[in-house]
Amino acid sequence: MHYTVYCLDHDGMVERRLSHYDAHKAYLATAPVKMVMSGPLLAADEETMIGSFFLYEADDIGQVVRFNANDPFNEAGIWKSVDIRPFLKRVDNR
């Protein structure tokens, strides 16, 4: 099953986000679930990072919840909200 993880930052987190980026990137490399895609969410200016998006493939949502909870961005208090949901992929044009 696929799962989306949609995280929105607290206001003013760009510098904190950048200071934790290397730890976040290293942590993602240890994922016990398959990372299909990920990247920062952007503000309307298409430059300012305001959150994170992940698409995982995993056996169950619990694996994704546990992995996301220990992400350095989450532990650093960058994310204001985290929404994890099952996703039924019907089209993939990659």
Backbone angles phi, psi at 43, to 5 degrees: -70, 175
CA 47, CA 45: separation in Å to the nearest integer? 5
The domain made up of 2-87 has a fold known as Alpha-Beta Plaits (3.30.70)
Tell me the pTM: 0.92
Cβ neighbours of residue 39 under 8 Å, at least 6 residues apart?
52, 53
CA 80, CA 70: separation in Å to the nearest integer? 15
Tell me: the pLDDT tens digits for 31-59?
Answer: 999 999 999 999 999 999 999 999 999 99
The ranges assigned to domains in the chain are 2-87
